[in-house]
Structure 1
Amino acid sequence: MAYKWVDELDRRMLQQALSLAAVSSVSSNPRVFSAASSSTPPSAAFSSALDADDNDDLEDLCRAEFGLKLGKLKSRLRSQAEEQQASLHRFCTDVQNTPNAKLRRELAKSFIMDLASISELATSRYTPTLVKMQSTFLANVQVENETLAGDVSRFKNELADVKDALQRLEMEKQGIESEARRRFEDEKALLEVSLREELQACQVCLRNPRDIVIMPCLHGQFCGECLEAHQKTNRTCPTCRGVIRGTLPYIA
């Protein structure tokens, strides 16, 4: 009932501290504490791990990406670890030197309060750093987003230019095809006229229209004027060499 003011988390920590105090009081061998204190201090191990990574490149990277001063953060973390180590050292020493169970419980409560105070202080120290990191990170993200937005806008403009160019090419293609069709139709019409005139013109003079048919072979590629001139010297058809027995007029 004496610990109702302690919340569930603190109650568990208190039970662990009391267990440590009970073990320390049963054992009169001072080597219990000396063995604990002879191990590598957490602050030293933590500092060694940080020293391995704390180089100029990492410092510059953290400052650029997160606005984080790595050396300053390392110093704060080392200080916190040292404070926790010192609090644990005092607690172990006091428990070993205190035979009274009630006093040991008071020491445990004091130890828990010290840890809570250290944690609260650490929170107050790290909160500005975390806020600054968040602000820097968000600023970097905003810059990246703006850069990406600019790239997207540029790509859209380039895409629009490409579409315009394709439309112009399509219009030029249609114009070329239309001109080619027009020229083809014109040349076709001229060729038809030429062929028609050629088929209708006398094969001899190539000037007068065909207007007579030779009998009986029915060849009619000549005009009456040219055929009359031909018959004065030759009574055979100019085409098949058959005997001309008569002629019939016609209009080609």
Structure 2
Amino acid sequence: MDLDAFSLAGRTILVTGANTGIGQGIAVAAARAGATVLGVARSPLAETADAVAAVGGRFVAIACDLAAPGAAVAMLERAWAEHGPIDGLVNNAGIIRRADAAEHSEADWDAVLDLNLKTVFLLSQAFGKRLLAAGRPGRIVNIASLLSFQGGIRVAAYTASKHGVAGLTRVLANEWAGRGINVNAIAPGYVESNNTEALRADPERSAAILARIPAGRWGAPADIGDATVFLLAPASAYVHGAVLPVDGGWLAR
């Protein structure tokens, strides 16, 4: 096995939502693989910076509220100018709003779709334009969800957004694979993160979830991070338009 095929040495990777949970796990994994990580979040990134330093990696904190109009693209352009060229974009930032479908507010719908899908497209578009103009190869990894395949309960906007992320991943791969840009996604299973805090705090729901996971445990952010490194690295050169479940076997059940 060529270990260099799994290395990110010399590459610059931008990760959104890098302050906690899955995003933090991705940032640490990419740094351990040799990348310079540009971590983006509206919340403080000191904890992620410390975690990256602990593995001997390089980290740049970028403060940005990706939900603010125009902020995401402006951030990417600024990051490219100051720290680029950028080799990989990981669209991880996202939110969830739980409510019965009959009670789901329009405001919550808009907030979820804007960040989870619209921002993913706008960042991918801006990054893709940069790569295409420069004739550079690049990697985009979108964070989808098991709810890219399933319906879920009380998460109408989130499910719609994550189905959209899967479709967007495929259409961008169709357009850009022949231009040297790999676009793929990861569908995390039930991972210990802020988004699953309510589920883990509910004894009955948590037990029901664990009973269906063949691996017998909740996922860890590092599980998603290591899979993301594969999709950012040379080893996945012929992988385009994939939505890779990293779910402990949930979808196989």
Q: TM-score range by the shorter chain?
A: under 0.3
Structure 1 or 2, whichever has the larger Rg, is 1
Q: Please identify which structure carries the higher strand content.
A: 2
Question: TM-score under structure 1 normalisation?
Answer: 0.23
Q: Please identify which structure carries the higher helix content.
A: 1
Question: TM-score under structure 2 normalisation?
Answer: 0.23
Task: Answer 1 or 2: higher relative contact order, Cα 8 Å, separation at least 6.
Answer: 2
